[in-house]
């Protein structure tokens, strides 16, 4: 399970130092894809499950083949090194404007890497979110 909000800095090679809980969850490696306004991070199992759900949605007419194609094409392996750093592909960093200051957010079955300013803007747009009715 991936949770929490973690301020991070990308190193000169575009590597992200993972907090301990993320390191253990992603020890076998990770898959990354452009996801909304951030970079999504999934374990191999979660990436496969996401693709299977999307494929089922296409079969049921709830999603398009183009949506499956675009997500699958964006999804790529991202290795975690012995120091617990996740290598973020340069093409994805450039597309999302991820340069130095980022925020790593755990969203249960995936992680998200946000540009720090974009993350702050998201909070300003939506204010505090009340989840009490779901707990």
Q: What is the domain extent for residue 41?
A: 5-134
Q: What pLDDT score was predicted for residue 44? A: 94
Is residue 116 predicted with pLDDT exceeding 90? yes
Window from 60-64, 82-86, 91-95, 125-129 with minimum mean pLDDT: 125-129
Whether the CB-CB separation of 87 and 79 falls below 8 Å is answered with: yes
Q: What pLDDT score was predicted for residue 20? A: 94
What is the rounded (10 degree) CA torsion for 66, 71, 76, 78? 170
Is residue 125 predicted with pLDDT exceeding 90? no
Q: What pLDDT score was predicted for residue 122? A: 87
| pTM for the whole structure | 0.91
- Which domain CATH number covers 74? 3.40.1550.20
Bridge partners (DSSP) listed for residue 86: 16, 80
How many CA atoms are closer than 13 Å to the CA of 126, on its beta-carbon side? 8
Q: What is the number of domains present in the chain? A: 1
């Amino acid at each position: 399970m991936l949770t929490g909000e973690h301020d991070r800095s990308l190193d000169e090679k575009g590597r992200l130092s993972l907090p301990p809980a993320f390191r253990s969850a992603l020890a076998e490696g990770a898959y990354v894809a452009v996801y909304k306004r951030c970079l999504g991070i999934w374990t191999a199992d979660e990436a496969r499950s996401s693709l299977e759900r999307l494929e089922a949605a296409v079969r049921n007419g709830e999603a398009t083949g183009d949506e499956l194609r675009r997500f699958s094409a964006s999804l790529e392996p991202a290795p975690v090194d012995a120091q617990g750093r996740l290598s973020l592909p340069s093409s994805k960093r450039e597309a999302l404007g991820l340069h130095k200051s980022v925020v790593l957010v755990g969203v249960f079955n995936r992680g998200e890497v946000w540009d720090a300013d974009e993350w702050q803007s998201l909070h300003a747009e939506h204010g505090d979110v009340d989840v009490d009715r779901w707990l």
